């Protein structure tokens, strides 16, 4: 059935293609035949009109030569020179009659003087009449002399309606000159148009039977010749044929020759070829029926159509037989393809025989056999691949379990590290707050030192006054010394609180040591995790660097605190010395204050110097504390970064868990695909 469909499709394509090809060939041949016949007919019409034009020129030239020959006779010249001589008249009249007798279809022949008075005529009754007068006479004289000057010698007025006979005739005039070249008269004659018509009718159109010939005057609107019945009755009358009127309009519009198509009111179509006769106002036209012109082409097209139909039938029949024979072996190939389609890869004997052929069937059979072998190899390969994929899926399952276990261990370690980082952050925050408190206490100490400096300045300035009022202010001095002692004691106590920094620094060193140990453990666990722990190893390394930096900073703080403690001890010693001095010497020897006023002044200067030094030491210490605060800010920022890194590690562990689960799903799907692949392989048969 499929083979039949293919044959039908092939035959349909052949039939349609052949039909289109033969149709195009027929159309092209018919069109070329039509064009060739049309061109040949048009060429025949052009040739006919050219021949008719030559005939007219020949007729006119022959008629003019006959008139010139008549004017050259001595009898004509003698009569014109001796117009009253009867003998000359008789001789000239006889010559006129004799010459007229030799002419064919001439209306008249005569001799006239320069005033157009007829001297001789072939019809004696016309002798003595004057042909023209006035302006018409001058026009005729000038025209005849122009003809003499142009070398022709004959003035041709064209075809006109004769006043005597009322018929169309070719009217001609020729001047007669004396020996000096002066005009002495003229000769005139007219040839009936029937002579020209008869001459023109002798020529026929080659290859065309149904034609009509016309000759008209486009200047005077006269019909000269017409071969159809209507126009033949209108000779010497204005043109009434609408086709000829169209021709006349085109000529007057500047188209001397052309081919035009014209349709009459009754639907008749004709082809008209027209040509003007130069310098005469005459136009020749030849009209032919379009149907008659194309009749031969139509007959030729019918014959070609019959031949094309016969050729089409022969080609389609031969193609059907050839296709049937050539497509018969395809049934064997069809069976083989059907077997392959049913997944039967067994060897086909018929296909093996067809592979020896050299045509397309052999090539197709070879390709089918190659396809069978290729599919057999593919099935066998798929069978082996399915086993490999199964083994690989088992290995991936085991690897996924291991990955999930490692991810779980990493998550536990990360959580422990996160807890440790939280403790570290808490300790750092506490240390940060303590440093801030120390900074505030130092500001208070600086204020107290500034106040003492101001008081020592005031003491120095008022030393003289104090000397005068020593006895009166003894009690007040004792109270003031007691108050100063209390203030100094409080200040020293506040300074001693700076020793707490050492405790905080010790805590920082302990935390740094723990952090460093934690970083080492994290690096070891990251190394155990392999590729998945690389990112965690980087974070652990950063934590170790942070621990080392914190330890270094804490050591620097410890050194600064040691120096500060030494300064505080020195300040306390100075304060003790001052208080002891005031208690042991000032109160006892206050009465001798005037004598030792100079000594007091020096002592006051020393006190001012010491206070200045204390103030400078406090400024340097405040600067150290500010540096510690900056370092604590950096430690706090790094701690925050570590906290963010631990959070990122936790997220990565979560992603690793998701990836492990996805790998488990992939392994499961691979196993399912292996089962499906095995089912497909089992569907194939090999024998």
Rounded Cα gap, residues 10 and 325, in angstroms: 13
Q: Does residue 207 sit within a domain?
A: no
Residue 262 DSSP label:
E
Model-level pTM? 0.44
Whether residue 145 lies inside any domain: the answer is: yes
CA distance 256 to 276: 5
CA 50 centroid distance within chain: 60
Residue corresponding to tokens 């030792």: 596
Upper half-sphere CA count for residue 73 (Cβ side, 13 Å): 22
Q: What tokens appear for 258 in the block?
A: 């052309």
Beta-bridge partners for 272: 260, 287
Question: Nearest CA to 668 among 405, 389, 382, 403?
Answer: 389
d(CA 289, CA 299) in angstroms, rounded, equals 16
Does 335 reside within a domain? no
Residue where one domain finishes, among candidates 199, 218, 249: 199
**Residue 387, pLDDT score:** 67
Please tell me whether residue 548 adopts helix, strand or coil conformation.
helix
pLDDT digits (tens, 9 = 90+) for 115-130: 999 999 999 999 999 9
Of 182, 199, 216, which closes a domain?
A: 199
Q: Which residues are CB-contacts of 355 (< 8 A; sequence separation ≥ 6)?
A: 362, 365, 366, 369
Please tell me the distance from the alpha carbon of residue 185 to that of residue 141, in angstroms, as a whole number: 10
SS3 473: coil
Q: What is the pLDDT of residues 23-79, one digit of tens each?
A: 888 888 877 777 777 777 778 888 888 888 888 889 899 999 999 999 999 999 999
The secondary element (H helix, E strand) that includes residue 447 is: helix 360-461
Domain-embedded: residue 271: no
Give the angle 673-679-684 at the CA atoms, nearest 5°.
130
Q: pLDDT at residue 423 above 80?
A: no
Q: Which DSSP state fits 236?
A: T
3-state DSSP of 586-636: HCCCHHHHHCCHHHHHHHHHHHHHHHHHHHHHHHHHHHHHHHHHHHHHHHH
Distance separating alpha carbons of residues 297 and 307, to the nearest angstrom: 15
Radius of gyration of the chain (CA): 72
3-state secondary structure of 527: helix
Question: What average pLDDT does the segment 589-603 reach?
Answer: 60
| Distance separating alpha carbons of residues 558 and 434, to the nearest angstrom | 15
pLDDT value of residue 110: 95
Between CA 171 and CA 63 the distance in angstroms is: 10
Average pLDDT, the chain: 76
Residue 611 lies in a domain: yes
Domain boundary among 165, 199, 233: 199
Which helix (H) or strand (E) is 189 found in, with range?
strand 183-192
pLDDT-based confidence at residue 644 (cuts at 50, 70, 90)? low
- Give the integer Cα–Cα distance in Å for 230 and 178: 50
**Euclidean distance between CA atoms 346 and 369, whole angstroms:** 10
Tokens of 410: 């990493």
Q: Which residue has the tokens 């008139």?
A: 67
Query: The domain containing residue 546 runs over which residues?
Result: 399-648
What's residue 1's pLDDT? 43
Where residue 91 sits, what CATH number does that domain have? 3.30.450.20
Phi/psi at 115 (5° precision) = -95, 10
Each residue's pLDDT tens digit, 77-88 = 999 999 999 999
Q: Does the pLDDT value for residue 188 go beyond 90?
A: yes
- Is there a domain that residue 374 lies in? no
Q: How far apart are CA 285 and CA 361, in angstroms?
A: 70
d(CA 440, CA 508): 21
Number of domains forming the structure of the chain? 2
What pLDDT is stored for residue 524 in this prediction?
79
Say what the pLDDT of residue 586 is. Answer: 57
Neighbours of 129 (CB within 10 A): 12
What pLDDT sits at residue 67?
Answer: 93
pLDDT single digits (tens) 346-403: 666 666 666 667 666 677 777 777 776 777 777 677 666 666 666 666 666 666 666 6
Q: CB–CB of 560/620 below 8 Å?
A: no
The domain that holds 633 is classified in CATH as 1.10.287
Taking a C-beta distance cutoff of 8 angstroms, is the pair 539, 653 a contact? no
Two tokens, residue 278:
């130069």
Question: Cα(49)–Cα(501) distance, rounded to whole angstroms?
Answer: 138
Residue 2 has what pLDDT? Answer: 47
Residue 120 lies in a domain: yes
In a domain, 41, yes or no: no
What is the residue-wise DSSP string for 90-125?
HHHHHHHHHHHHHSSSEEEEEEEETT-BEEEESSGG
Question: Whats the size of the chain, residue-wise?
Answer: 687
Q: Which residues contact 226 (CB under 8 A, 6 or more apart)?
A: 212, 213, 214, 215, 232, 234, 235, 241
List the beta strands (DSSP E) in 544-620: none
For residue 331, pLDDT beyond 50 = yes
Between 10 and 212, the higher pLDDT residue: 212
């Amino acid at each position: 059935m499929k083979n039949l469909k293919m044959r039908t499709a092939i035959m349909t394509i052949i039939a349609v293609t052949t039909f289109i090809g033969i149709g195009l060939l027929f159309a092209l041949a018919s069109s070329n035949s039509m064009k060739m016949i049309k061109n040949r007919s048009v060429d025949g019409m052009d040739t006919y009109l050219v021949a008719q034009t030559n005939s007219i020129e020949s007729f006119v030239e022959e008629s003019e030569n006959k008139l010139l020959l008549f004017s050259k006779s001595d009898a004509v010249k003698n009569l014109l020179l001796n117009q009253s001589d009867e003998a000359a008249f008789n001789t000239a009249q006889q010559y006129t009659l004799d010459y007229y007798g030799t002419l064919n279809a001439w209306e008249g022949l005569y001799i006239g003087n320069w005033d157009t008075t007829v001297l001789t005529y072939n019809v004696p009754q016309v002798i003595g009449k004057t042909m023209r007068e006035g302006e018409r006479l001058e026009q005729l004289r000038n025209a005849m002399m122009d003809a003499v000057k142009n070398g022709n010698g004959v003035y041709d007025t064209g075809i006109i309606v004769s006043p005597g006979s009322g018929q169309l005739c070719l009217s001609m005039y020729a001047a007669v000159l004396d020996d000096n070249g002066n005009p002495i008269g003229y000769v005139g004659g007219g040839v009936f148009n029937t002579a020209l018509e008869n001459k023109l009718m002798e020529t026929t159109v080659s290859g065309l039977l149904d034609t009509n010939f016309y000759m008209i005057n486009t200047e005077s609107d006269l019909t000269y010749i017409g071969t159809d019945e209507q126009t033949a009755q209108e000779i010497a009358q204005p043109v009434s044929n609408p086709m000829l009127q169209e021709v006349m309009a085109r000529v007057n519009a500047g188209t001397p020759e052309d081919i035009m198509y014209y349709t009459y009111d009754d639907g008749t179509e004709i082809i008209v070829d027209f040509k003007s006769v130069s310098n005469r106002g005459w136009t020749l036209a030849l009209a032919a029926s379009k149907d008659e012109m194309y009749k031969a082409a139509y007959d030729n097209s019918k014959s070609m159509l019959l031949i094309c139909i016969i050729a089409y039938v022969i080609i389609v029949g031969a193609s059907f037989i050839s296709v049937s024979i050539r497509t018969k072996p395809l049934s064997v190939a069809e069976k083989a393809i059907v077997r392959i389609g049913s997944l039967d890869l067994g060897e086909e004997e018929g296909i093996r025989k067809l592979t020896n052929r050299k045509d397309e069937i052999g090539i197709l059979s070879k390709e089918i056999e190659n396809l069978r072998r290729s599919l057999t190899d593919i099935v066998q390969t798929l069978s082996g691949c399915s086993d490999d994929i199964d083994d690989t899926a088992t290995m991936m399952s085991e690897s996924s379990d291991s990955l999930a276990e490692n991810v779980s261990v990493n998550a536990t370690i990360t959580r422990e590290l996160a807890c440790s980082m939280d403790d570290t952050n808490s300790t750092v925050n506490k240390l940060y707050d303590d440093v801030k408190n120390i900074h505030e206490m130092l500001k208070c100490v600086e204020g107290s030192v500034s106040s003492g400096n101001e008081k020592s300045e005031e003491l120095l300035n008022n030393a003289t006054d104090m000397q005068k009022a020593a006895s009166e202010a003894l009690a007040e001095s004792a109270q003031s010394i007691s108050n100063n002692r209390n203030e100094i004691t409080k200040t020293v106590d506040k300074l001693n609180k700076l020793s707490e920094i050492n405790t905080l620094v010790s805590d920082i060193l302990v935390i740094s040591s723990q952090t460093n140990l934690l970083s080492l453990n994290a690096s070891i666990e990251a190394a155990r995790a392999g590729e998945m722990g690389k990112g965690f190893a980087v974070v652990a390394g950063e934590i170790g660097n942070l621990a080392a930096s914190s330890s270094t900073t804490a050591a620097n703080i410890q050194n600064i605190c040691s120096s500060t403690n030494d300064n505080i001890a020195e300040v306390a010693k100075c304060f003790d010395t001052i208080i002891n001095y005031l208690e042991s010497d000032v109160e006892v020897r206050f009465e001798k204050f005037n004598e030792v006023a100079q000594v007091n002044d020096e002592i006051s200067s020393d006190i001012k110097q010491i206070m200045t030094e204390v103030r400078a030491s406090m400024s340097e210490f405040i600067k150290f504390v500010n540096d510690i605060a900056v370092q604590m800010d950096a430690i706090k920022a790094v701690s925050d970064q570590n906290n963010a890194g631990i959070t990122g590690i936790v997220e990565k562990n979560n992603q690793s868990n998701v990836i492990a689960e996805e790998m488990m799903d992939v392994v499961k799907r691979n196993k399912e695909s292996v089962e499906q692949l095995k089912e497909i392989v089992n569907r194939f048969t090999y024998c």
